Amino acid sequence: MTAGSAGWPPLSAGERSVAIEVLVNGPLSRTELSRRLSLSAGSLTRLTKPLIESGLLVEAPAPAAAAETRQGRPSRPLDVVAGSRSFIGFKITEDTVYGVVTTLRSEVIARHDRPLVSREPAEVVRSLGEMAGELARAHPGLEGIGIGVGGLVRDRAVVADSPFLGWRDVPLAALVGERTGLPVVVENDVAALVEAETWFGAGRGLERFVVLTIGAGIGYGLVLGGRRVPCAEEDRGFGRHWILDPNGPLTPDGERGSAVSLLTVPSIRYQVQAATGRELTYEEILTLAAEGEPMAARVVDEAARALGVLVAQIANFVMPQKILLAGEGVGLMDVGGATVERTVRAHRHPLADPVALETKVSDFHDWARGAAVPAIQVLVLGAARGGASAVPAPPAG
């Protein structure tokens, strides 16, 4: 299997800024694009010409209002053809690979999942290769693959340490690229999700933005000045040492009363099972809590208070314009949302602005979509394929 096309030529810094602005915020008129990037009309023409010639940008139809109000030929806004290129995103969990195909603007157009019979790297690479082949046959013109992994990823190419998979120093990008013939970008799953939400989701155009995920673990991503802030801790079990209640529960993972001990799906299930002897799913626990079952209600209420403390602490120190709460554990908000809100207010200054907390019900396909975005970034930015260095986020709109 080979790539659908040779891709676009490498971009200069100026061309890259124009391409990103249109990709993320288009269609844009030339006047608006010049204003956003502080460019003269001549400079913009010089930068857009090669982008149009390469097919990265196109002239979209003029808006009807512009055609009616202006004499002569109306200005045609610049845009990308989102469906002209497609990308694969994979999210690898302990027992399943979740796959999606996205457009250039990360819109999901297909899904394809496969259980893992083994976590051995060779077996996972084989599954990824076969899935990519099946998706390529159904969606010709694939440009690249993005893979999201829970753990420490080095140079967007090597899984340096993944406790979920039991991997150390696995050159995943090279192995999958050799098998598929496509450029491959590997990224920590939370970092990839943050990039996706910054470019195409809840954080688009924001200067200060936070993503907080609840699921098998706790994930945290920070965007300042429109760019994701990388840090060593984001890949190494955020939340295990963030103490929200020093008298809180002690669970097998995380310090006593930590974010992990109080909020993750496995910890909530562990607490209920330890108290009742019943092994319940997370959804069953939330249902029982909503119905007033005492033990489930106590555990869920404690988790909701902990989430409120965590959100308030983040808001107090980072002062974000928005906090996005995502992950497979966000059902907590359906049952404990009022407790979360009360706790946030109690831990904020009385005159503080309300916290803009957005909840996104997400599943592993959302994580796979997030994994595709670094591959999109690599193509549009012209970075080295199959192991790009850090890619800057788009200019804030």
Mean pLDDT over residues 182-197, rounded? 94
**34 vs 38: CA distance, rounded Å:** 6
* Check whether domain 85-195+365-381 has CATH 3.30.420.40, yes or no: yes
The tens digit of pLDDT for each residue in 50-102 reads 889 888 899 888 766 554 445 545 578 999 888 888 999 999 999 999 999 99
- Whether the pLDDT of residue 396 is over 80: the answer is no
- Whether the pLDDT of residue 277 is over 90: the answer is yes
Give the three-state DSSP class for 219: strand
HSE-CB at 95 with a 13 A cutoff on CA atoms is 1
Average pLDDT in the chain: 88
Listed in order, the ranges of the chain carrying CATH 3.30.420.40 are: 85-195+365-381, 205-359
Count H helices and E strands in the chain, helices first.
13, 15
**30 vs 40: CA distance, rounded Å:** 10
Residue 183 phi, psi (nearest 5): -65, 140
112 in Cβ contact with 99 (< 8 Å): yes
The pLDDT score that the predictor gives to residue 371 is 96
The tens digit of pLDDT for each residue in 202-246 reads 999 999 999 999 998 899 999 999 899 987 665 566 788 899 999
The tens digit of pLDDT for each residue in 30-46 reads 999 999 999 999 999 99
The pLDDT score that the predictor gives to residue 379 is 75
**278 vs 54: CA distance, rounded Å:** 61
The tens digit of pLDDT for each residue in 304-351 reads 999 999 999 999 999 999 999 999 999 999 999 999 999 999 999 999
**Considering the chain, what percentage of its residues have pLDDT values greater than 70?**
89
**27 vs 61: CA distance, rounded Å:** 10
Structure tokens at 343: 């706790």
**296 vs 275: CA distance, rounded Å:** 9
Structure tokens at 111: 């899904």
Listed in order, the ranges of the chain carrying CATH 1.10.10.10 are: 13-82
What is the CATH architecture assignment of 13-82? Answer: Orthogonal Bundle (1.10)
**What amino acid occupies position 165?**
L
Structure tokens at 176: 């999958």
Straight-line distance from the first to the last Cα atom of the chain, in angstroms, rounded to the nearest whole number = 38
Mean pLDDT over residues 341-363, rounded? 93
Q: What is the pTM of this model?
A: 0.86
For domain 205-359, give the fold. Answer: Nucleotidyltransferase; domain 5 (3.30.420)
Nearest by Cα to 236 from 320, 180, 152, 144: 152
Q: Exposed, middle or buried, 14 (CB in 10 Å: 0-12/13-18/19+)?
A: middle
The pLDDT score that the predictor gives to residue 337 is 96
The pLDDT score that the predictor gives to residue 380 is 72
Which contacts (CB < 8 Å, 24+ apart) does range 130-139 have? 131/90, 131/97, 131/99, 132/1, 132/88, 132/176, 132/179, 132/180, 132/182, 133/1, 133/180, 135/88, 135/99, 135/101, 135/110, 136/1, 136/4, 136/180, 138/101, 138/110, 139/86, 139/101, 139/109, 139/110
